[in-house]
Structure 1
Amino acid sequence: MTPSIAHTLLRWLPRDGRPGVARRGLIVWGMALLIAVFQWLATPQEHPLVYSLVYSYAISTSIWFFSDPLRIALHRWLRTEPPHFWAFTPRTGAYMLASIVLGYALGTAVGDAFSGRSTWALLSLSPQRFWGFWLSSLGISFGFLFYFYHREKGLDLERQATEARLKLLETQLEPHMLFNTLANLRALIATDPPRAIHMLDRLNDYLRATLKASRTDAHSGAHTLADEFARLRDYLELMAVRMGPRLAYTLNLPAELQRHAVPPLLLQPLVENAIRHGLEPQVEGGRISVHASQHGASGLLIEVTDTGVGMDHSPPNPTTPNNPANGSGFGLAQVRERVASLPGTGRVELSSPPGGGTTVRLHLPFIKPSAAQTASP
């Protein structure tokens, strides 16, 4: 099940619950195949393999539907919280037991309709065998629930650790830029007051956007590409005051992508790297271009390109962990961590052709904005 198909089929669920539901569904279906083959091999003379497959998939899918996606859809009534929607309470325990019983009954009815037999007749013919089947299904189902609960809790703890690590990276990156800006502002106050006022206005806008982003959860979807590009514009205006005509920039964000959710401070480290390591070492400066586009049906491509000195102006040193010449600088490492923390498959590509210039490409999963995001100003 591809991410786009899963997103379409599960769009009636909360956004942060969909990836886990799709992942657990694939695990359940894989195990259903193994259970069907095992049951058929145990008694191959009683029925063909297709009967075992239908019964196994019907029962497994029914129990999974009631205990997983429907559980998340009813999370307010069950009083469970995102992102994993799991909790051990009397209410959820009763719901899980009911889900297993109803799922088993529904899946058995589907298998009986397909095979033309009656599993319930086994209750009178061989009660011991009937209850053996039922108890084994109950045990397998509770085993899956126990495994999924601990797995999702582990993923949630990993997500929280990633968030904490990214927040720490933000606190390390922001003061560096702020101190440089204040130093330039102090010099301009004495030599060019109008220009200093313009720089102070840009700094005010930038700090306001930074404060807003610092209060935004990277996984909440509240920070969009429009916010990120607005913050980039404030930052580049600050740098333009400092560098003057040596810095030119282009920001290209199509209207249909403005509401696409991204982690805060995703692009600024790339732009700051481009200025510091690409344009500033070059006497004439250069241009920075940031372009976002939809890549295929399920991908988002963001390109940050500069016309600076490139990465071949100094020999790479593999022993230096934060050497921008080998693509392992602090800003790029931060961006790689942010991309890795996103749901789905994302990657960062870096290229610098001989003669100068560097391009960083971010390949991100494309997520259509929710109705609430689309309606927000």
Structure 2
Amino acid sequence: MGAPGILRRMPPRRPLSLSFALRGVQAAAANTLIALGLTAFGDEPFGRNLLYSQGIGLSIWAAIDGGQMLLIRDWSTQWRRMVAIAPAGVAVGYAVGIAATDRALGRVPFVEWAGQPRRALGFLVLSLGAGVVVTYWFASREHMAQARERQAQLQREATEARLKLLETQLAPHMLFNTLANLRALIAVDAPRAQQMLDHLIAYLRATLGASRSVTHPLAAEFQRLHDYLALMAIRMGPRLAYELHLPPQLAQQPVPTLLLQPLVENSLQHGLEPQVRGGRIVVDARREGGMLVLEVADTGAGLAGTPPADGHGFGLGQVRDRLATLFGPAATLELAPIASGGTRTTIRLPLPA
């Protein structure tokens, strides 16, 4: 799930061979309509008209389609080449189509056409018209595809920029809270403050490296939580107990960086710290169907001391915004009271198929 992976995936492009075949079917259908028109307004039988129409039409289509695939790699800068490809394709396709159909019917190529100049001219005019239509169709299709791709690219860039902004807001928020706790501890227990500072340096070294990425393995997320909770345990002492449960099969599952950090911080600040006795935090990961479920449960003061679930608290609001940016409505964050006391915060993320 790195930035390209965790952000919404673009639909895979249709294989080139399949696109080529589909365009051939469309050309054959148009050729059949031309044969019906020639039969309705002429004196040749439908079968003969159909053979020549398909032979000439498919040859022209193959020449123009093949020419644009070989000579046009970037429509935004090379689309003008179709002005030359189209008439050349019509000329080549017209000649090849007549010759191939004549041979298929056991005739000497071009002999009959030379004796029927009006009929030859009629097919040539139809071929030129078809070439113009095909050229316009190619240009319109490619310009629309490029417009959609540009719009999708702008949307991806805006999404990534918004995600980076959220991450740059979140990391300093966590750091400032930790430094405030460290300052308070220096005044009452300098040796423990020194120990806490050592843990903080180690924690920041690992966290700042992870913050440069959009995602990292769930195992790395849990390791950062372990470092953070060990850091907080120095300050809170026996008032803080914690457990981290990560199944081995989910260890390498990519998740957004620093996703659970604000939830754990929220449990500490609003759940455990207001209580004299402190409490316990349990972080759990599991799979439920096609969803990854991440839970942070505490035995703290409950929802009465927790910021509103709609994201008005800074940490919860950041998590909600990041989930919405990365997954849209497919991901959820819910807060619920625990019957025995405390709060459970649950994140559900879609797993890749």
Same fold (TM over 0.5): yes
1:342 aligns to what SS in structure 2? helix
1:157-211 deviation per Cα after TM superposition (whole angstroms, max 9, x unaligned): 2333333333333333333332332333344345434422321222012211222
Residues 247 and 287, structure 1, Cα contact 8 Å, conserved in 2: yes
Q: CA deviation at 1:242?
A: 1.9
Alignment partners' CA distance in 2, 1:258 and 1:334: 24
1:244 to 225, 230, 237: 237
Match of 2:197 in 1: 200
Alignment partners' CA distance in 1, 2:201 and 2:75: 44
Residues 350 and 361, structure 1, Cα contact 8 Å, conserved in 2: yes
Q: Which moved more, 1:278-287 or 1:141-150?
A: 141-150
Tell me: CA distance 1:192–1:141, structure 2 relative to 1, closer, same or farther (3 Å): same
1:288 aligns to what SS in structure 2? strand
Tell me: CA distance 1:184–1:331, structure 2 relative to 1, closer, same or farther (3 Å): closer
1:303 paired with 2:295, answer yes
Alignment partners' CA distance in 2, 1:215 and 1:189: 31
1:286 to 279, 282, 299: 279
Tell me: CA distance 1:362–1:16, structure 2 relative to 1, closer, same or farther (3 Å): closer
1:175 paired with 2:177, answer no
Residues 159 and 341, structure 1, Cα contact 8 Å, conserved in 2: no
1:143 paired with 2:140, answer yes
1:160 to 151, 157, 160: 157
Tell me: CA distance 1:261–1:143, structure 2 relative to 1, closer, same or farther (3 Å): farther
Q: CA deviation at 1:148?
A: 3.1
1:324 aligns to what SS in structure 2? coil
Q: CA deviation at 1:129?
A: 4.9
Match of 1:225 in 2: 218
2:317 to 324, 333, 338: 333
Task: Give the TM-score of the pair, scaled to structure 2.
Answer: 0.62
Q: CA deviation at 1:238?
A: 1.7
More helix by share: 2
Q: How does 1:10-21 map to 2 (within 5 A)?
A: 19-21=9-11
Task: Give the TM-score of the pair, scaled to structure 1.
Answer: 0.58
Alignment partners' CA distance in 2, 1:284 and 1:348: 32
Tell me: CA distance 1:162–1:130, structure 2 relative to 1, closer, same or farther (3 Å): same
Q: Which moved more, 1:251-260 or 1:137-146?
A: 137-146
1:254 paired with 2:247, answer yes
Residues 228 and 267, structure 1, Cα contact 8 Å, conserved in 2: yes
Residues 6 and 326, structure 2, Cα contact 8 Å, conserved in 1: no
Gaps of 5+ in 2: 37-60, 94-119
Q: How does 1:92-131 map to 2 (within 5 A)?
A: 126=123, 128-129=125-126
1:349-377 deviation per Cα after TM superposition (whole angstroms, max 9, x unaligned): 31313754322222223248xxxxxxxxx
Q: How does 1:312-323 map to 2 (within 5 A)?
A: 313=304, 323=307
1:212 paired with 2:212, answer no
1:365 to 346, 350, 353: 350
Residues 259 and 319, structure 2, Cα contact 8 Å, conserved in 1: yes
Match of 1:348 in 2: 332
Match of 1:248, as an amino acid?
Answer: A
Residues 261 and 367, structure 1, Cα contact 8 Å, conserved in 2: no
Residues 292 and 302, structure 1, Cα contact 8 Å, conserved in 2: yes
Residues 271 and 302, structure 2, Cα contact 8 Å, conserved in 1: yes
Alignment partners' CA distance in 1, 2:207 and 2:163: 14
Tell me: CA distance 1:151–1:327, structure 2 relative to 1, closer, same or farther (3 Å): same
Of structures 1 and 2, the one scoring higher in RCO (CA 8 A, sep 6+) is: 2
CA-based RMSD of the aligned residues comes to: 4.5
Alignment partners' CA distance in 2, 1:232 and 1:338: 18
Larger Rg: 2
Q: CA deviation at 1:268?
A: 0.9
Tell me: CA distance 1:275–1:190, structure 2 relative to 1, closer, same or farther (3 Å): closer
Tell me: CA distance 1:166–1:19, structure 2 relative to 1, closer, same or farther (3 Å): closer
Alignment partners' CA distance in 2, 1:93 and 1:15: 36
Gaps of 5+ in 1: 1-6, 8-13, 47-58, 72-77, 79-85, 106-123, 317-322, 369-377
Alignment partners' CA distance in 2, 1:185 and 1:20: 46
